[in-house]
Amino acid sequence: MVLRATYPDAVSGWLPHRATITRLYRDEGRSLKEVMVIMAEQYGFKATPKMYKARIARWGLDKKNKRHEVKEILWRRAGRKLLGKESEFVLGGRVVDMADVERYARRAGLDLYPEHDSRAESSTVIRDLVCYTPPPSRRCLDAPLPLHNVERFLHSFCLFVGDSLRSGLWTLGKDVMGFACVLGVEYPTSARDHFFLAVERGVRRYNLGDVSQAYRQWRAAFRELHALVQSRRPSQLLCLVELVAHLAECKHEVANLLLRYLGDLVDGHVRRDARLSMLQSLSRLRAEDLVGLTQVSQECSRDAFSGHFDRKSFFLLDSETILMDSPVDSRESSPQPHLSGLISEWEPYDVEALRAARSVMEILMASERYGEAEHITWIHIRRMHEMPYDGVLGGAFSHAYSYLTHLYLMTQDYEKAYHCTFLKVENYFKVLGYRTDLPEDFILSSFKLLSSLAETLRMDEEAEVWRRKYTDLKAHTDASAELELSYLRSGARASQGDQSRGVNAPRLAGQSQSSPSPSSSPPPAELSAISVEDFRKCNCHALAQPRRPSGTGTRPATIAGLRTS
């Protein structure tokens, strides 16, 4: 059907069609004439060539090289080369062809590697220009298809970050300790939802040898993946590469299956934008490629934020993500006594205050300013005791006690570590009256740590009490996992029987003509098959003996990832 074409309103008429015009003109490389015909016939959108050219220039979609942009690209490349860094660029969401840039520079008489002591004419920062270091793993990729997929992902990732910034999905907040705090669209709500927590909990349990509970968490993560695909929160997707890479280092088969399932869910969406294009390109990668791409994606994000906000170090408040060029040297950081006042004088002390305090604690930990982190956390706990208790506050208490436990274990102050872990356990039983989403084994690692710490402190009776609590709770959670596993085995046998009779296995969401709603689509059957095979290889129900905290100053294995257990 051909729609009646109408001229757009000069202010608001272009915005609904921006993504489509960008895709046609820039991503698909169509000519302006082709774009005009498609927009008029398929979308009923009509504008003159002059109007198109003005809008294309305003949106930064012009494909022609400009002198000031070429000079800026060459200047940045020269500076990074002095530091021994390779460089690739994305300008306005389009990957820059350096061969084309160099041809322009030769015709214009520009130096390919200008002196880096001054910018000469190029004194203004181009906001839409993003520079990043190519992944080191790209040289060892042995097939052209993986290499193409990596390049396609980097392109789509940079495009997504740039479009999100230009759309105003991130706004600049107040500075804290040299970090520019950035607020997402739903701050102070955390972007680290059930999907992120389930993946991290699964990795933590798998590394501790609790395979049954690990797969229970990963199955929960698969069930939550549809919400991530539908989310409009860009901070979540910035964390996704690192999260899946973390999973790949633990169990790459599960990570690969997660990527394929992500692709199936994305394929169920008809309308595409920069967010879905990035997710689709991510789903085509191999899990082992993501480990090398984590740093590259962080550099791309940091450069995009730096170009947009003209700052260097950032803290994304809703996802607690730190973007900075290099670690902050705690010796050079000037003390900021006003931080104590920030927490103690905040009125009223509400949910926003909880998020702000947590942000300060994260930044202090990243800056390795552990003494200040301890001081601020105890002030934060004192202020929380003034608030009416609920599920949100209970989670904040658990987070704060976990922070302190981590700090005291690093300094080998086992008595204080025992005290804070005990407070966390007390808080857990209190918060159960408000939270139904906590997994059954949430507190299991704390029981194990208390037993180990009590033994180290020669508190033999307490050590035995906590060991019994650990044994009883683990037996209960293992029984639940065994019951769940029996259903999985039955399902796997039934699936094999269907396949032997030539019956097609159920498709994933988005693969059939009448796909079920994403919320009702189960995790892929292959996840159950992987978990069953893993159970055969691992004696997952043997009781692991509590270990004493390490005396090396590093985080003991018994509390790996304690903050979000």
What pLDDT digit, counting tens, does each position of 26-57 carry? 777 788 899 999 988 888 888 899 898 888 87
Return the pLDDT at 556.
33
For 253-269, give one letter per residue: b (16+ CB within 10 A) or e: bbbbbbbebbbbbbbbb
Average pLDDT across each block of 10 residues of the chain; the chain has 565 residues. List them in order. Answer: 52 75 79 90 88 83 80 86 80 78 86 69 64 61 61 85 84 79 78 84 84 84 87 84 90 90 83 81 87 83 86 82 63 45 68 79 79 89 92 90 91 93 93 82 87 94 93 84 64 51 38 39 60 54 36 33 34
Return the pLDDT at 295.
82
According to DSSP, the β-strands at 129-132 and 94-95 are unpaired
Distance CA 422, CA 429 (A): 11
> Taking the CA of residue 319 as centre, how many other CA atoms within 13 Å lie in the half-sphere pointing to its CB?
21
> Taking the CA of residue 109 as centre, how many other CA atoms within 13 Å lie in the half-sphere pointing to its CB?
0
What pLDDT digit, counting tens, does each position of 455-480 carry? 999 999 999 999 999 999 888 887 77
Strand partners, 183: 171
Predicted TM-score of the model (pTM)? 0.58
101 CB-contact burial (10 Å; exposed 0-12 / middle 13-18 / buried 19+): buried
